Structure 1
Amino acid sequence: MTRIFFTATAAAAAVWISGAAAALSDSDCDCYRTSANDVFTDYTLSDFRRVGSPKAVPELQSTLPDSAFRSTPDADTGVLQDGFISGPKWNQSWTIQEWGRPKANDTLYPMSNSFSNVFIDRNKDGDKKAKTKLVLRTRRFEGFQSAAEVEHQQKNLLYASARFRARVIGDAGAVAGLFYYQNGNNESDIEILTRDDPTIIRYSNQPTVDDDGNQIPDSSTIFNLATKQRRDDIEDKKKRSFLSPRADGDLAWTEWHTHRIDWIAGKSSWYVDGEFELEKTYGVPTVPSYIVLNMWGDGGVWSGEMEVNAEARLEIEWIEMAFNTSGPVEGVPDEEDNARRKSKRADACTKMCTLGDGAPHQSGAVGLRRTDSRLAIAVAIGAMVLFVAF
């Protein structure tokens, strides 16, 4: 199902639910509206703030795995952390990647994704109510870089609004990615390069280069959190140079922020902490896609070179997404989730919930449909007209 265009011909009354009793049942919301007035028929929350006591962080092997460039049943690409990451709640919504990439002409060393680089850790300096967090780690070893990537199980997103409560910390030479993906021509990115000044975020729709290797205008934008300045990546003469990080307090990607990317027909939009920052009409994905998170480096001109034994982390408290699909809602649900994981029709939007920009109600689980004081049940007074684009 594609974007729903919603028009109310009369006023609508909103009943706001506050406090701990604000978790609504599935029957309370048929559809979800964003601050941009885009409407989606499904909702999911991956909440890593209270998922039990973290188990020991897996050790990384310091040599390139024999199976780094192939996926086999006996792959030796790390071990899963005990507890939450090895359990059903995580696996209902996410899969950890184990593929690798050999050294290329434009990179200095190979890269290998490892199970061991995705884990739950204690959250000592995030939200006061967030006791734990998800971590994606990358570390440089002599001869290769160990990396992390996870994919969401919902593979048929066709338009979505996704929010990531995240920060990036660590050494230069890594790339943190939060993006919608299907292939090289259908991808919308939030990327943070740890070689950049910590105020710089890069927003792009792929492809960013043409067949001759030339940068495509308006495909990639460099955005400054502190000044709100934007410039086309094609104009950035320092793109391949290392920039010395400086302390920018709450305006840096080293601090916790809510990064948001909206994908609708013909437009991608980026937000930080609820504030609109940028939109693009170039290269907007047109086919069903899915969410990918990664943390990697390969010594190439994009990531830069990381020093041996250095590392960097992408840390996430929660991921919230309202979305439409090209078919039934999928994933790997347990029996309890089967009832809610179903396709919906746009004309079933009789109870509209408005998705806010604050932290969602804590569920302590992944994939559960939860709402809180930021979601209002909109009760239409008068006729409503729903225009659905297929």
Structure 2
Amino acid sequence: MALLLFTGAVVVNAQQAALTEDARCGCYLIKRNETTYFKKHRFFDFRNHDHHASVPPVIESANDSPDAPVTSPFFNSTDWTDFWMISNWNNSHGVREDSTLLMVNSPNNVYLEANPSPNPSSPSKSWLSLRTQRLPKFQTTAEIESLSAKFKFVSIRMLARTIGARGAITAMFTYRHSEELAKVQESDLEIRTSDPKNLIHCTNQPSLNSEGDIEARASRNATMPDGLEWSDWAVHRLDWTPESTTWYVNDVEVADIAFQTPKDVSNIILNAWSDGGEWTENMTVGEAAYLQLQWFEILYNTTEVEKREGGEGGCNSVCSVDGSPEVGRPVMLWSNGVGRVVGMFGGWVMVTVVAVLFLVA
């Protein structure tokens, strides 16, 4: 019996790859990074919960706001509670030195909202809203945070928009807490509603140096691509990998920062807030701003990322969510250890195939 070994290159179109389920995926690759593998995937879909949708009136008492109940049974479901918690802390003990307002997070400001006029460009029946509103004596705000603080490298995406009054920040970010500002680790996507509507902020924190001056290498003022504004629905993506943090809007890269990329385990946080400080500015009493999401998706590791070739290290079935014909569901790139990725660009994946044939004399 003779053994014949040959290799050859084939090209697989990820957009034509077969839909699969997470249970069949050993790990995941992301577009434009074929060396970082993610072990886990979660998808949160808020588009078809109009039966749970209800916009609660704002609670005008700073004392009552933190203890408000959740606004819908959805936020008591296992799908939500096994990943997220809704914050109710306030800044009465001081978070930012330039704050001029009491800021109070309330579960009452996290709710499902019905789409009043579904149309082809926005067919979603509902979305998740995070609300912040200026009241006479304080700013009522919204924040959701991952239960786990052990994420280490992620690719997070959300179909989202920011709308409303000047004087607010909406954000999606990774966060490692420290009592010392210099030891905080954070990768931010932030939108300031006082900014031009095509401007977003991408930062690896802390963004100030030891003298308190702005560290230019830590931040980029990025422009939304293709004429988009942050009030338009768009897919915002943040990839935190060992080498850098990279930001995308609708799959267009808008920033990449290697300087002080986070290195240690972190939380995932989304919020809408203001404290009347220099960064947020001061919202007019009675006005409000909102971060609204149709869906949120995360690929993640909870231990240090291993760099390895496909098919090794227990990762025999390799999937991707990029190029999938159905958002939230992965496609199978390859399985059973056949092949390895050598390049990934656009919707295409280049695979080197190794084949073994046994010939009987």
TM-score, structure 2 normalization:
0.80
Matched, 1:28 2:18: no
Q: Separation in 2 of the partners of 1:55 and 1:385? A: 43
Query: Does residue 378 of structure 1 match 2:334?
Result: yes
Q: Which stretch shows the higher mean deviation, 114-123 or 180-189?
A: 180-189
Residue in structure 1 matching 2:231, options 254, 258, 270: 254
Equivalents in 1 of 2:124, 2:300: separation in Å? Answer: 25
SS of 1:157's equivalent?
Answer: coil
2:122 equivalent to 1:122: no
Counterpart Cα distance in 2 of 1:83 and 1:46: 15
Query: Could you give the per-residue CA deviations for residues 292-349 of structure 1, whole angstroms, max 9, x where no partner exists?
Result: 000000110000000000000000011111111128xxxxxxxxxxxxxxxxx96122
Map 1:50-61 to 2 at 5 A.
50-61=48-59
Q: Which moved more, 1:177-186 or 1:280-289?
A: 177-186
Which residue matches 1:307?
284
Amino acid at match of 2:313: D
Select the residue among 142, 146, 149 that pairs with 1:152: 146
The runs of 5 or more residues in structure 2 that have no matched partner are 1-6, 305-310, 343-361
* Aligned residue in 1 for 2:98: 106
Equivalences for residues 234-273 of structure 1 within 5 A: 251-273=228-250
Moved more, 205-214 or 165-174: 205-214
Contact 2:38 2:299 (8 Å CA) reproduced: yes
Tell me: CA distance 1:357–1:165, structure 2 relative to 1, closer, same or farther (3 Å).
Answer: farther
What amino acid is the match of 1:51? H
The alignment-based identity, stated in percent, is 29
1:144-293 matched pairs, under 5 angstroms: 144-183=138-177, 184=181, 185-226=184-225, 251-293=228-270
- Distance across 2 between alignment mates of 1:325 and 1:296: 28
Instruction: Provide structure 1 residue ranges, at least 5 long, that are not aligned to the other structure.
Output: 1-8, 69-75, 228-249, 328-344, 362-369
Structure 1 residue 108, shift from structure 2 partner:
1.9
The CA deviation at 1:63 is 2.8
Report the CA distance shift for 1:201/1:128 in structure 2 as closer, same or farther (over 3 A): closer
Deviation at 1:283, TM superposition (A): 1.5
1:59 is displaced (CA, Å) by: 2.3
After superposition, the C-alpha distances for 1:279-299 in whole angstroms (9 at most, x for unaligned) are: 111111111112100000011
> Residue 272 of structure 1: CA displacement?
0.7
Instruction: Please report how far the alpha carbon of residue 169 of structure 1 lies from its aligned counterpart in structure 2 after TM superposition.
Output: 0.1
| Alignment partner, residue 135 of structure 1 | 129
- Within 1, Cα distance between the matches of 2:49 and 2:292? 15
- What is the deviation of 1:147? 0.3
Distance 1:346 1:101 in 2: 48
Q: Secondary structure of 1:89's partner?
A: helix
The 5 A counterparts of 1:49-88 are: 49-65=47-63, 76-88=66-78
Match of 1:297 in 2: 274
2:315 to 320, 342, 349: 349
RMSD after superposition: 2.8
Supply the distance in 2 between the matched residues of 1:164 and 1:61 (Cα, whole angstroms): 28
Q: CA-to-partner distance for each residue in 1:88-129, whole Å, 9 max, x for gaps?
A: 322122100000002765222110000100000012457544
Q: Which residue of 2 aligns with 1:237?
A: none
SS at match of 1:301: coil
CA positional deviation for 1:223: 1.0
Task: Give secondary structure in 2 for the equivalent of 1:201.
Answer: strand
Deviation for aligned residue 1:178: 0.3
CA distance in 2: counterparts of 1:224 and 1:384, whole angstroms: 35
Aligned equivalents of 1:220 and 1:206: distance in 2?
A: 8
Partner of 2:39: 41
Q: 1:16-72 CA deviation, whole Å, 9 max, x = no partner?
A: 6879xx752334321111111232111111111113513432222223217x7xxxx
Take 2:325 and 2:150, find their aligned partners in 1: how far apart are those partners?
A: 26
Q: Counterpart of 1:53 in 2: which secondary structure? A: helix
Letter in 2 for 1:61: I
Asked if the contact 2:19–2:324 (Cα under 8 Å) also holds between the matched residues in 1, the reply is: no
Q: Which is worse superposed, 46-55 or 178-187? A: 46-55
Tell me if structure 2 keeps the 8 A contact 1:17–1:376.
no
Distance (whole Å) between structure 2 residues aligned to residue 113 and residue 290 of structure 1: 17
For the Cα contact (< 8 Å) 2:22–2:41, is it kept in 1?
no
Larger radius of gyration: 2
> Using a 3 Å threshold, how does the CA distance of structure 1 residues 165 and 24 change in structure 2: closer, same or farther?
same
Give the match's secondary structure for 2:152.
Answer: strand
- SS in structure 1 of the partner of residue 31 of structure 2: coil
The answer to whether the 8 Å contact 2:176/2:185 transfers is yes
CA distance in 2, matches of 1:34, 1:88: 27
Distance 1:53 1:267 in 2: 41
